Amino acid sequence: MTRVYSPLLHLATLILACATALAQFPVTLTLDARNAGVVASPPTRAGFTYRITVSGTYSQWPQFTDCHGVDAVWVYDVPQQEIDAFRWPPKEILGRPFVSIPHWVGDTTKYGFPPIQSGLPPLFQLSFRDNLGFRVDNEPLPAYPLDATLHRYQLTKSGSGKPFSFWINDSTLVLRTNEVVPRYEDNCGQLTVVVEEIPQTDLNICDITPISANGEVVGIRMDAGIFVVDTTAVDGKRNILTTAQQIGIVVDGKFVCPDSLACDPERKDPLHIGLVVDISGSMNETTVFAGRAVTRLEALQQSVLSLTNKLRPGDSLFIITFNERVTLALDWTADKAAIAATVNKLQAMTNTSLHGGILTGLAKITPHPAVLKMLIVMTDGINTMPPDDPTAVEQALASANIPLYLIALGLGTSPLELEGLAAMQRFVRAAPTGKFYNISSGDELATVYEQIVDNAGTEDCCRLYFRIPPCDRGQSKRTLRIVYLDGGNMITTYVDVACDLRTTGVVETPTGTSPREAEQLIEPMPADDVARIWFDLDEPMPVTIQLFTMQGDLAHTIDAGIVGVGHTSVALNVHTLTQGHYMARIRVGDAVRISPIIIQR
């Protein structure tokens, strides 16, 4: 048969192939807790980023017939019978803490039982990471805060051309044979996994929290963002959600606008950094730093010390150095004096084991339970030591799912250097987030380090508060449709919200804290045109304000909707009221407070 080539047909084929790839996502997968099999997504596309949302609970014990106890991140409840029968380690032994609940399924600690503290030889060891829990590409999720109501968690991963794999690991030790065997027959429940390919304009629902009054769900706090690509940003994206008018929800067929929106660019979580730095011989070459010529090593030292000064309480880092060898120069620490001492004694010599440094850094940072962690790699040359193959580094980065920031200082334009720079860019693309910096001076090095730390964890979603009608009697959950209008296009996504607010988790109450009563302050006093009532709220609450005359007549009512957490205010337009003394009846949630207000012109 004669083969005919048509450019138009070829173009149509390419378009169809791209459309087919896009059509595979989003995809919803179900993991049955009684099944040991691996569930795979459709093949992903290299160079694209995917959001994975996991929700649901399951049980490893027949006592929990409602299938709770374990979610995608935590073992949060264990039957007391299992602990009493020594089939599960207790929370404490001889008054000393042992295995806490909730417990992260990625914990690498090996717990001997009975513990050494008891004076008895251990009969077996329990490893959460080795023996139980949900896995994505054979890795646990980070230790996100326990979502005790919805049990919903989210992460991003880069596509590699291969599918993502998901499974539930559940195994037990047979003491008689000292063998670890799969054990799924007494499980129940399931996890739901939604995989989405993140588009250029991304409507992301980071979290959903129901808000209750008198035991009923009356509203939701929705953490959301509308992200667009921004190559100038440290993580390559920017949140363009700035007003409450940009977004809404459809519930029970009705469109609901948010009562309020709050965006907080400040970092909330502790930051944990893996610093991987080049101390090869070329680091003795000169560069410009603070207006003078210094060695590249000296510029690195000063830049790292500046970065250290930006660390906050709860932050930590480790330092790995590489030349012809890769060395853990400093283990996890928050001690700034120890960091300075380590950095100041670095010496530059010999070759460049860039690949080995990255792989060692990944192996070090991956088991850390922190939610906010990153690897920052700095080099002034291409890899000259085994392992030589950059593909192994790309695969490790894609599997580890650790953000990577890679800084190349002073590389040239020779064919080998250009090839090395291209490999470094592929490394960053293989990570879920990050950025590649190709710089030429020590001054740029200091700026880059500061930018990375300053912007870490500040792309959090905004908080929106919606009022929604109560669920129908007997309804366990409802599906909300979130809508964002992007010019003439509508971007939409869906989330499920529980109706009964049943908290299935066992959450330890922090010591020394208690819920505050809502406090308010009316200003100015006296008021003329607008009065503001200020609140300090520990949790979002519905707020209603009524103004009464001194004769007891209702003069004005404001339904402020759900007011968010923090120091915020509600405006009262009083310009239509006659001057005089009034009483403000302020209902915050179920609490009511009466405060005087004076209107004077």
- Tens-digit pLDDT profile for residues 163-184: 999 999 998 776 666 677 888 9
pLDDT tens, position by position, 228-268: 877 666 667 788 888 887 888 887 777 788 888 888 767 77
pLDDT band at 397 (very low <50, low <70, confident <90, very high): very high
Q: Do the domain assignments include residue 292?
A: yes
Per-residue pLDDT, 488: 60
23 and 143 housed in the same domain: yes
Most confidently predicted of 102-111, 323-332, 580-589: 323-332
Query: Which CATH number fits the domain that encloses residue 403?
Result: 3.40.50.410
Give the separation between CA 128 and CA 144, rounded to whole angstroms: 16
pLDDT band at 517 (very low <50, low <70, confident <90, very high): very low
Is the predicted pLDDT of residue 277 greater than 90, yes or no?
Answer: yes
Q: Do the domain assignments include residue 514?
A: no
pLDDT tens, position by position, 141-150: 999 999 988 8
Q: Which helix (H) or strand (E) holds 319?
A: strand 316-322
pLDDT tens, position by position, 298-334: 999 999 999 999 999 999 999 999 999 999 999 999 9
Per-residue pLDDT, 529: 83
Query: Which CATH number fits the domain that encloses residue 566?
Result: 2.60.40.1930
DSSP string, 524-574: SSSBSSEEEEEEEESS-EEEEEEEEETTS-EEEEEEEEEEPSEEEEEEEE-
Q: Do the domain assignments include residue 150?
A: yes
Q: Do the domain assignments include residue 513?
A: no
The first and second tokens of residue 294, run together, are 């210094």
376 and 241 housed in the same domain: no
- How distant, in Å, are the alpha carbons of 59, 178, 189 from that of 32? 11, 27, 6
172 and 288 housed in the same domain: no
Closest C-alpha among 369, 359, 436, 443 to residue 399:
359
Q: In whole numbers, what is the pLDDT of the chain averaged over residues?
A: 84
559 and 482 housed in the same domain: no
69 close to 101: Cβ distance less than 8 angstroms: no
Last residue of some domain: 415, 434, 455?
Answer: 455
119 and 6 housed in the same domain: yes
Most confidently predicted of 206-220, 278-292, 532-546, 553-567: 278-292
Q: Do the domain assignments include residue 127?
A: yes
Bridge partner residues of 490 (DSSP): 485
Q: Do the domain assignments include residue 90?
A: yes
Per-residue pLDDT, 462: 86
Of 334-338, 443-447, 534-538, which gets the smallest average pLDDT?
534-538
pLDDT tens, position by position, 451-481: 899 888 765 678 888 888 777 777 777 788 8
Q: Do the domain assignments include residue 511?
A: no
Per-residue pLDDT, 552: 66
391 close to 419: Cβ distance less than 8 angstroms: no
Last residue of some domain: 437, 471, 506?
Answer: 506
Is the predicted pLDDT of residue 441 greater than 90, yes or no?
Answer: yes
Is the predicted pLDDT of residue 23 greater than 90, yes or no?
Answer: no
- Please state the pTM of the whole predicted model: 0.72
pLDDT tens, position by position, 415-427: 999 999 999 999 9
Last residue of some domain: 198, 219, 243?
Answer: 198
Domain count, the chain: 4
Expressed as residue numbers, the domain containing 162 is 1-198
397 and 293 housed in the same domain: yes
527 and 591 housed in the same domain: yes
Is the predicted pLDDT of residue 16 greater than 50, yes or no?
Answer: no
Cα torsion 33, 57, 479, 221: sign: negative
338 and 384 housed in the same domain: yes
Which residue intervals of 413-567 are DSSP H helices? 415-430, 442-455
Higher pLDDT, 599 or 26: 26
228 and 194 housed in the same domain: no
pLDDT band at 510 (very low <50, low <70, confident <90, very high): very low
36 and 126 housed in the same domain: yes
For 141, residues 6+ apart whose C-beta sits below 8 A from its C-beta are 54, 72, 73, 106, 134, 153, 155
Per-residue pLDDT, 464: 87
How far out from the chain centre does Cα 353 lie? 31
213 close to 72: Cβ distance less than 8 angstroms: no
Most confidently predicted of 82-96, 121-135, 153-167: 153-167
215 and 324 housed in the same domain: no
Is the predicted pLDDT of residue 512 greater than 70, yes or no?
Answer: no
Q: Do the domain assignments include residue 184?
A: yes
Per-residue pLDDT, 489: 67
174 and 311 housed in the same domain: no
